[in-house]
Amino acid sequence: MESPVNLRSDADRRIVPDDIVKELYQKMLGVFYLEERLKILTRQGKISFLASTRGHEKLQVGTVMLMKPRHDWFFPYYREKAIAYALGMPLKDIFLHMLSREGDPSSNGRNMPEHFSSRELNLVSQTACTGTQYLPAVGMAKALKKDGSDAIVYVSSGEGATSEGEFFEAVNWATREELPVLFVIQNNGYAISVPQNAQTTSEVHRIAAGFGLPSYHVDGTWYESIYQTLPPLIQRMREGGGLVFGRPDEIPK
């Protein structure tokens, strides 16, 4: 099959600066080899839980590159080790955590794998219960706004978690208070084990619209879409313009 990159003009491919493309590629490649090694360790019975970022890494790495690591705050979900990697968490620390070893900076091996955290990186541990990251993220955004900071909060999940009550509460509160929260819904068409049409009869962006939350669709498989859409929205939030709801599709239409 012809590679999708060949279906776009040269002008389209030059939209993202070469140095950004190179950095994105290097970091995505790092995540790829990280996942390959973790897959082997899991098959050897050395890792108790693995949730691959495969297919999501471009969005995760690329979004971090457009934000301010160590200044902004990150509330990811359990399929986002690429967020930890892109923020600068050392590979040794990632492996210590995934192997539940002593010395793991996230929890000293006590928390289950895929629950990365770092005070230095403003990375807050994920939870195993889907959707529970949303309300703490909104609380952090409220604190940042009260302190007069221009930092923003990244919070994300798959589309399945948008059926959880915490998601509705968080969107309602964040919209009402006009808080600097970037909601990122990574829609790959499946909510763990069921297709989206078995999970909801609505669409994620319609749920957001019901609360007056502006939403933007970006193609998570094309960085041009992310690079063109997010920077002005992030800047608007830093200047006090409220929150943003993104719904990247990871599967080409």
pLDDT tens digits along 28-39: 999 999 999 999
- Strands of the sheet with 215-216, listed across from one edge: 73-75, 153-158, 181-186, 244-246, 215-216
pLDDT for residue 3: 28
**Residue 66 located in a structural domain:** yes
pLDDT for residue 201: 78
Q: How far apart are CA 208 and CA 229, in angstroms?
A: 18
Strand, coil or helix: 158: strand
Select the more confidently predicted residue: 191 or 115: 115
Q: 223-238 vs 57-65: helix axis angle to the nearest 10?
A: 40
Provide the token pair at 136.
Answer: 């703490």
Cβ-based burial of 18 (10 A; exposed 0-12, middle 13-18, buried ≥19): exposed
**Residue 63 located in a structural domain:** yes
pLDDT for residue 243: 65
Select the more confidently predicted residue: 210 or 42: 42
Question: With 60 as the cut, is the pLDDT of residue 8 above it?
Answer: no
What range defines the domain where residue 32 resides? 4-246
pLDDT tens digits along 64-95: 999 999 999 999 999 999 999 999 999 999 99
pLDDT for residue 72: 98
pLDDT for residue 192: 80
- Spell out a b/e string for 221-234, using b for 16 or more CB atoms within 10 Å of the CB, else e: bbbebbbebbeebb
**Residue 126 located in a structural domain:** yes
**How many domains are there within the chain?**
1
Is residue 216 a contact partner of residue 245, using CB atoms and an 8 Å limit?
yes
Is residue 174 a contact partner of residue 243, using CB atoms and an 8 Å limit?
yes
**Residue 251 located in a structural domain:** no
Is residue 50 a contact partner of residue 40, using CB atoms and an 8 Å limit?
no
**Residue 36 located in a structural domain:** yes
The CATH code of the domain that includes 112 is 3.40.50.970
Provide the token pair at 247.
Answer: 């719904």
Average pLDDT of the residues of the chain: 88
pLDDT tens digits along 176-191: 999 999 999 998 888 8
Tell me the pLDDT band of 242, cut-offs 50, 70 and 90.
Answer: low
**Residue 195 located in a structural domain:** yes
HSE of 201, CA atoms in CB hemisphere, 13 A: 0
Tell me the pLDDT band of 195, cut-offs 50, 70 and 90.
Answer: confident
pLDDT for residue 101: 96
Is residue 28 a contact partner of residue 57, using CB atoms and an 8 Å limit?
yes
**Residue 253 located in a structural domain:** no
pLDDT for residue 178: 92
**Residue 224 located in a structural domain:** yes
Q: Would you list the DSSP string of 181-242?
A: EEEEEEB-SEETTEEGGGT-SS-HHHHHHHTT--EE--BTT-HHHHHHHHHHHHHHHHTT--
Q: How far is CA 145 from CA 69, 99, 192, 238, 242, in A?
A: 18, 37, 34, 10, 10
Select the more confidently predicted residue: 252 or 184: 184
Residue located via tokens 């690429």: 82
